[in-house]
Amino acid sequence: MTSIAFFFIPMDPKYIWLMIAMVILTSIGIGFYSPLLWSMYADVADYATEKNEPAVQRMIWMLFSLFPAAIALQIVVLMRFYPIKK
C-alpha cells in the first residue's frame, strides 16, 4: 500500500523527507513478507523431493550436470580450431 502511495507524492524538493519515509515503510513491509515467501519456496521443493522417486531425481540432476559439461567440451573444441590471437 505504501509503494502505491509513493506515486501520489508531489515531485517537489520539499517532500523529499516524505518520500524517504515512504521508502523506509515499504522496505519494512517487504522485509516481513520476504522470509515467509522464501520458506514457502523451500517447503514446496522439499515436498516435491519427497513425492517423486529418488531414481527420477538422480536422473534429473545427472542431466543438469551433463549439459554444462557438453557446452564446456564444445568450447574446448572450438578453441582448438579458432585460437585467440592478438
Q: Give the span between the Cα atoms of 41 and 49, in whole angstroms.
A: 12
Q: Is the dihedral of CA 8, 11, 15, 16 positive or negative?
A: positive
pTM: 0.41
Residue 70 Cα to chain centre, angstroms: 25
pLDDT for residue 86: 66
- Angle at the Cα of 83 from the Cα atoms of 81 and 84, rounded to 5 degrees: 155
The pLDDT tens digits of the residues spanning 20-56 come to 999 999 888 887 777 878 888 888 888 887 777 776 7
Q: End-to-end CA distance of the chain, in Å?
A: 57
